[in-house]
Amino acid sequence: MRLLLLGPPGSGKGTQAQRLAAMTGARHIATGDLVRAEIGAGTELGRRIKDYNDRGDLVPDELILGLVRPYLTKGSWILDGLPRDEAQARALDEMLKEMGVGLDRVIVLVMPDDALIMRLLGRVQSVATAKTYHVTYDPPPQDDPGPFVRRADDTPEDVRRRLEIYHAETEPLQRYYAGRGLLRQVNTRGPIDTVAAAILQAVDDDPARPTPGHRVKGPG
C-alpha cells in the first residue's frame, strides 16, 4: 500500500498516519517531521529551512523534494505533508514515475476550520515521548514525563496563515487526484480508531469506482 494523506493542519494526518503505520506495517513519512528533524540536527540544510518553518511558510520545493526522495521506496508507505500544491504534486508524480513506484490511494481528511483552530491552539507535544496532546481535550497522562512544548508555528497568526495556504494551494489538489479515481474523502469527526478504520475502508474501496461528485460518462 502506498498512500497519500491530504488534509488541513490539525486534521490529524500525523496521528492517523502513525496509527495506520502501526496497523499495516507501512512506513510513515511526514515531511514536517523531516523538516523539524533537519532543523533540530543543526545541519546546513536545517539552517536554510528554519526561517520558513518558524513562520509557517512552505520550504522551497527542491529542498523538500530532495529531503523526501530517499524515503519513497517500492515498499509500503504513508506520505503525510506532501504535496502542498500542484507544482509539488506534479514533481512528486515525476519522481515516482522515474523510480517505478505507484500511488494506490489519496485520502483527504475533512474538518471545519473552527475545529482545526481550536485543536492547533491547544496542541502540545511531549519532548520525552513525541506524543501529541491537547491541553483541554486530551491532557497529557501522569506517566508521560514531558516536558510539553508547543510547535513554533502553532501561534494564532501562523495557524491562520497555514490554513490560508491550505485552502488556496493544497485543497484544490483534490481535483487533481479525483480525476484519476485515486481520491476518497474521510470525515475526521470521532475517536482516532473510528477515523483510522474509515481510512482503511476507503483504502480498500474499489479503485475503479469514481469519486463521488466526479462525473464520468456512462453508456448512452
- Beta strands in 155-214, from DSSP E residues, in sequence order: 183-187
Compute the Cα dihedral for 85, 163, 72, 20 and give only its sign: negative
Q: Nearest distance from residue 98's CB to ligand AMP, in Å?
A: 18
Q: Nearest distance from residue 13's CB to ligand AMP, in Å?
A: 7
119 is known as an active-site residue: no
With CB atoms as reference, the residue minimizing the distance to ligand AMP is 32
Calpha distance 202→196 (Å, rounded)? 10
Give whichever of 169 and 214 is closer to ligand AMP, judged by the CB atom.
169
74 is known as an active-site residue: no
Q: Which residue ranges make up the site for ligand AMP (CB under 6 A)?
A: 9, 31-32, 35, 52-53, 56-59, 64, 81-82, 84, 88, 153
Phi, psi dihedrals of residue 151, rounded to the nearest 5°: -70, 145
Q: Nearest distance from residue 51's CB to ligand AMP, in Å?
A: 9
Please pick, among 19, 36, 50, 84, the residue that the annotation labels catalytic. 84
Buried b (16+ CB within 10 A) or exposed e, 143-164: eeeeebeebebbeeebbebbbe
Calpha distance 178→30 (Å, rounded)? 22
Give whichever of 59 and 183 is closer to ligand AMP, judged by the CB atom.
59
Calpha distance 206→187 (Å, rounded)? 19
47 is known as an active-site residue: no
Give whichever of 17 and 216 is closer to ligand AMP, judged by the CB atom.
17
123 is known as an active-site residue: yes
Give whichever of 59 and 203 is closer to ligand AMP, judged by the CB atom.
59
151 is known as an active-site residue: yes
3-state secondary structure at position 185? strand
CA 77 to chain centre: 12
Please pick, among 19, 105, 123, 184, the residue that the annotation labels catalytic. 123
Q: Cell digits for 180?
A: 484519476
Calpha distance 184→73 (Å, rounded)? 23
Which residues are tagged catalytic?
A: 13, 84, 123, 151, 162
